Amino acid sequence: MDLGSNFAAKLEQYLLMGKSMRGAAAAKLIQSATSAPGVFVFGELFDLPGIRNLEKDEQYSHSYALLQLFAYKTYQDYLENKDQLPILNEAQTIKLKHLSIVSMATERRILPYPLLMSRLAMSTIRELEDLIIDAIYLDILRGKLDQKESQLEVEYTMGRDLEPGKVESMLSALRDWASTTSAVLATLDSQISSISSQNAFNKKQKDDYEAHVQQIIKEVSEKKESAPAYSSGTKKPLASHGQATTGTGDRMDVDEPEGSAAGGPKGKNRK
């Protein structure tokens, strides 16, 4: 379930009651809604005629300003405009500080303790951490307290109401983001294509090299197989009778001495 998905349902009873309220009753409705547990979105109250009329009512305009404060402003705004606003009770003070953390998280994901303590007018870290833990428990935000680094790491937050006129600036920011994202994606695609081409070229070079090596090995092997081979126990063929071999293995004729040939006259016996 998304954060804050049930907050609108908690506002429903105030919307039903506020349809017929005017003046003091409408101002009291704002006081009740901003103090009520679990009510963190207020935008639909501005659609009620009795609430809208308070803006121009000198007696109750401060109640309308109070509703604006809780809808899309922060505790720091309250401190800067206390003279034009009703005094907050304890429940309202805690709720507005919770909502202020949500607004701060839209500007940066890492919120240092000193920044939070300054914006929320809190004097001790223990008090601040208790406030953050309550906000997480109430499903206002998700995050992690990093006590070592003294900071809040925000993961998700509920969505707050948008201040009038902020829709256009948000749409402009989204268009800029979309344009930047498209440019980044185009650059990444180009780099990926370049890397793929380089990898294909390197693979071809490697395949060509391996094929060349295999061809050389094959040629050397074929030459060895076709060359005459003599084992160490095999003698070279001897020349036939009346022939001799040269050092290169070629045969040549040799003149035999008289009487040495087979079948020649035998020598006489000596006395």
pLDDT band at 252 (very low <50, low <70, confident <90, very high): low
Q: Which residues contact 202 (CB under 8 A, 6 or more apart)?
A: none
Angle, vertex CA 26, rays to CA 83 and CA 67, nearest 5: 45
Does 189 lie in the same domain as 148? no
Does 113 lie in the same domain as 56? yes
- Residue 222 pLDDT > 70: yes
Has residue 47 been placed in a domain? Answer: yes
User: How many domains does the chain fold into?
Assistant: 2
- Residue 235 pLDDT > 60: no
pLDDT band at 24 (very low <50, low <70, confident <90, very high): very high
What mean pLDDT is reported for the chain? Answer: 84
**Three-state secondary structure string covering 180-207:** HHHHHHHHHHHHHHHHHHHHHHHHHHHH
Does 73 lie in the same domain as 32? yes
Number of neighbours of residue 217 by Cβ within 10 angstroms:
10
- Position 268 scores a pLDDT of 47
Does 140 lie in the same domain as 37? yes
Has residue 42 been placed in a domain? Answer: yes
- Whole-model pTM? 0.64
Q: What domain range is 14 assigned to?
A: 7-157
Average pLDDT over residues 93-107: 96
- Residue 167 pLDDT > 80: no
Does 192 lie in the same domain as 149? no
pLDDT above 70 covers a percentage of the chain that reads 79
Does 132 lie in the same domain as 45? yes
Has residue 243 been placed in a domain? Answer: no
Tell me the torsion sign for CA atoms 217, 220, 223, 227: negative
Q: Which of 109, 75, 114 is nearest to 92 (CA)?
A: 75
- Position 92 scores a pLDDT of 98
Single residue among 208, 223, 238 that ends a domain in this structure:
223
Single residue among 133, 157, 181 that ends a domain in this structure:
157
- Residue 260 pLDDT > 90: no
Partnered with residue 59 across adjacent β-strands are none
pLDDT band at 226 (very low <50, low <70, confident <90, very high): confident
Has residue 218 been placed in a domain? Answer: yes
Does 64 lie in the same domain as 175? no
Does 151 lie in the same domain as 178? no
- Position 174 scores a pLDDT of 75
